[in-house]
Structure 1
């Protein structure tokens, strides 16, 4: 392989890894934004580690670190860094595939735990004193107000102690209250599904870029190995 080809592969490795690094940084920023503005985290406790915002932050952080190694390895023509980058990126891609398969296989089980968590949060809200469990109360009120829903399956879940956030009127001070008819379970599941769809689209895009980075690293690494270069 002549020097012009080496420079071409080197430029491709650096540019694609830098692009991947930027994607990872954007994913981290977007995940942090969701974590700050989210009003639903306290209601879904079973799957807190795979909450969309948490998933974005963790995945983006790992991607930025791995791609940074790739950028440095390409720029410095360092075979040790390229080897580390190749191994870490390969493992990261396997983890991403494993997570996708888990969500695909256990989607029904996830829905069951989702419903259970919401019911537990509703019961905590219903049985709490006026000043107790403020975080859960605020989050549940925010969900009902934002999605125009009431309870988990409907108004009956509150067993007569329906909060003002279920009311269709604002302000809710008329003698005969009217409440939202739909429960929040289906609406929240659709919201989470939309978030995971967006997250999945981003992960697939990064996966494609990662696969290309992995593929073009091989000829560059082989050239360094053949010439005995890359450890200086």
Structure 2
């Protein structure tokens, strides 16, 4: 019986920590959307920027961890089953995205290159002080596209190992 209580409170603590992390990620998304107006450098995907991604991730993590926390605390089977189903779906989504990224690597590379070129042309047309121009000034401080691509390719193994570890933890 004491082992089950230990498991119950461990699950409560872990999910509470994830709840706080999810709320922090959501807060970071709000901060980035109000502070940085140039987060989207892809003209055809302007709604898919970093701030919106952080909103979605923060809300999802907060909701799932709340289900796990409350389900463990109240020992409610329905909440716990919902929690584990959502975690399973999250793991499937992560694995699917990882497989699609590996499968369509060349197409994604050419899409990103095309979008960045279109965004650069748009920034040239806006003149100094436009949102795209500010974004391009920030990107050029960290290097150009080929340098960024090289960094990603060099860290591909580490990224794959990280995805496997995250899926194992889930």
Question: Which TM class, normalised by the smaller chain length?
Answer: 0.7 to 0.9
Q: Which residue of structure 2 lines up, in the alignment, with residue 58 of structure 1?
A: 56
From the CA coordinates, give the structure whose radius of gyration is larger: 1
Q: Against the structure 1 CA distance between its residues 97 and 55, is the aligned structure 2 distance closer, same or farther, given a 3 Å change threshold?
A: farther
Choose the corresponding residue for 1:135, options 131, 139, 153: 131
How many residue pairs align between the two structures? 170
Q: CA deviation at 1:37?
A: 6.0
Aligned mates of 1:93, 1:113 — CA distance in 2? 26
Q: Against the structure 1 CA distance between its residues 129 and 23, is the aligned structure 2 distance closer, same or farther, given a 3 Å change threshold?
A: closer
1:182-224 deviations in Å (ceiling 9; x for gaps): xx22134457779999988876665444x2xxxxxxxxxxxxx
**Is the Cα–Cα contact under 8 Å of residues 22 and 64 in structure 1 kept in the other structure?**
yes
What SS does the corresponding residue of 2:22 show, helix, strand or coil?
helix
Q: Against the structure 1 CA distance between its residues 42 and 23, is the aligned structure 2 distance closer, same or farther, given a 3 Å change threshold?
A: closer
Choose the corresponding residue for 2:122, options 88, 101, 124: 124
Q: Which residue of structure 1 lines up, in the alignment, with residue 81 of structure 2?
A: 83
Q: CA deviation at 1:25?
A: 3.3
Unaligned segments of structure 1, at least 5 residues: 150-183, 212-232
Is 1:185 matched with 2:145?
yes
Residues 1-40 of structure 1 aligned to structure 2 (within 5 Å) = 3-32=1-30
Aligned mates of 1:74, 1:90 — CA distance in 2? 17
**Is the Cα–Cα contact under 8 Å of residues 17 and 67 in structure 1 kept in the other structure?**
yes
Task: Decide which structure has greater helix share.
Answer: 2
Highest relative contact order (Cα 8 Å, sep 6+), 1 or 2? 1
1:99-152 deviations in Å (ceiling 9; x for gaps): 2222222222111111101211222234x2657x822223223333x14x6xxx
Q: Against the structure 1 CA distance between its residues 79 and 130, is the aligned structure 2 distance closer, same or farther, given a 3 Å change threshold?
A: closer
What TM-score comes out, normalization by structure 2 length? 0.73
**Is the Cα–Cα contact under 8 Å of residues 40 and 49 in structure 2 kept in the other structure?**
no
